[in-house]
Structures are given as C-alpha cells and as structure tokens.
C-alpha cells in the first residue's frame, strides 16, 4: 500500500549520483512508474536522462516522499529548494551521512516527518544494507514506506534511535572499504610469498568474494563457517593463530577501526 502512495502522489529524489541512481533503478525495477518520480540533479547521467522520470522540472505540490541523496557538504545549498514541502504530509528520507535529524528539522520545520537512513555502496549491485530511524513525527506507516524504498537495493535493519547511526556508519557504511583493503592486503601477502601480482590479486579477490557469498547463502554462523575450514594443526590454524591474537590480531584492530569511524561520525554530526 505504501508504494501505491508513491505511485499516486509522487517521489522527489534530490541528488542522483551513484547511490541515488542505484535507488532509482531499484524503484523502477520494483514497479514505481517513472512518471511518478521527480529528480533534481545538476549533472544528470545519460542513463538518468533516458530513464523517463521528470528531470529538473516543477515539483508536485505534496509528494509522498522527498529522498535526500546529495553529499552532506551540498545539503545546505540544496535543501532550501524543498523547504516548501516541510511541515506537511511529505515524508523526508535522508541518506546523507553526518546530517542529523535536528539539522533537517531546523530547515524543514519540526512538524516534518523525517527518516534518517545509512545505506552502503553494495546497494549498487542490489546487495546493500541500510539502518534507519525516524523523528517524533515519523509514523509507523512512514517507517514502513522508508523500509520498502530501501529494500529495493538490499536489506534493512531498524535502529533503536539516531544515536546508533554512527555505529551503523562505522560497521556497514564504511565497512565495504575494510573488505576492499582486505583484498589488497591478502594479495600483497601472496606476492610476498612468491606469486605474481596478477595471480595474487585474482586469488585474493575471488577468495573474499566467494567467502562472502558462502556466508550470504549459509545458515551457519560466521564462527562456524570459520571452524569448518580450519583443520587442527593445519595451515589455516597457523594463520588464524596470528589473526586471532588477543592483542595484535584482527579483533582488537577491527574494534579500534570501527570505534575511530564511529567517533568521527559523531564529530561530523555536531
């Protein structure tokens, strides 16, 4: 029913870069009519220009949703153009990192229903995951609508409140970069053991992607999957003895890395 509201009343997308394009493609695939979507994007891609949506045109008077997908540093300049839709029935959904609900309410009005979402870049291949929370004016129906829209590009988790957004940013928002670094580091280690750069990178990339797919498809926990490939006294066990060291291993390192990201998120939100 909530997506029918979007089709009837329209959806405004402010910003259509990589993430905005991924979302738009997901919505169109899910059956949202192109003519129900208004996109504001100063540098539209060829794909966007051919998508059949209203592009940089006059907005509907009371759209169901206005989704804010501009970079945080552009929000201050872009948001006033949608100010007239505040304090009304339009649900505002923001995927801008570091832009708080309070900041949005200051521009749009405190009576504006707002949902803040933290997605991640695997949304571009339909495998994203988003954490979301709403302000006091966001109803259960508003949250359901936001959930439906974000499910077009992956999974969605509900948060207890905005105070958890920085932790989500640190784990899943920034997390893809940690995995890409793992591929780089694994390939470099393979080179150090005598492999060519090309072979080492192909092995590392396929291994990380394959293990991720196995974790995705398996009902077993990550810990059990690790145990399944670890023979006592074998090569994997020798490597894990290094990686699982309480002081110098991956768990304490990841803890510090995620804390650093979350701390920085809190700084940016002030």
Report all structural domains of the chain as residue ranges with CATH numbers, in order of start: 2-165 (3.40.50.720), 175-268 (1.10.3730.10)
pLDDT value of position 223: 98
pLDDT value of position 1: 53
pLDDT value of position 85: 94
Q: Point out the residues of the chain with pLDDT beneath 50.
A: none
Q: Is 29 left (phi over 0), alpha (psi -120 to 50) or beta?
A: alpha
Residues 164-205: tens digit of each pLDDT: 999 999 999 999 999 999 999 999 999 999 999 999 999 999
pLDDT value of position 224: 98
Q: What is the pTM of this model?
A: 0.90
pLDDT value of position 93: 98
């Amino acid at each position: 029913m909530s997506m029918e509201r979007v089709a009837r009343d329209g959806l405004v997308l402010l910003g259509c870069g990589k993430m905005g394009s991924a979302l738009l493609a997901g919505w169109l695939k899910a059956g949202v009519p192109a003519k129900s979507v208004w996109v504001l994007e100063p540098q539209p891609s060829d794909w966007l220009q051919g998508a059949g949506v209203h592009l940089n045109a006059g907005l509907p008077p009371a759209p169901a949703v206005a989704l804010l997908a501009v970079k945080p540093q552009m929000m201050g300049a872009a948001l006033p153009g949608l100010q007239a839709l505040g304090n009304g029935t339009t649900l505002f959904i923001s995927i801008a990192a570091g832009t708080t609900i309070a900041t949005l309410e200051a521009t749009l009005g405190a009576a504006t229903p707002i949902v803040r979402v933290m997605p991640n870049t695997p949304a571009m291949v339909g495998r994203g995951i988003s954490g979301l929370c709403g302000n006091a004016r966001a109803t259960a129906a508003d949250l359901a609508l936001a959930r439906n829209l974000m499910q077009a590009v992956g999974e969605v988790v509900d948060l207890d409140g905005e105070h958890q957004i920085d932790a989500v940013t640190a784990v899943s928002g920034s997390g893809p970069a940690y995995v890409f670094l793992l591929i780089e580091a694994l390939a470099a280690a393979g080179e150090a053991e005598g492999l060519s750069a090309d072979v080492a990178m192909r092995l590392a990339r396929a291994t990380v992607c394959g293990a991720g797919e196995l974790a995705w498809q398996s009902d077993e926990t990550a810990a059990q999957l690790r145990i399944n490939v670890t023979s006592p006294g074998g090569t994997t066990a020798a490597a894990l003895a290094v990686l699982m060291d309480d002081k110098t291993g991956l768990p304490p390192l990841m803890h510090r890395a995620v804390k650093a990201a979350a701390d920085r998120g809190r700084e940016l939100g002030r």
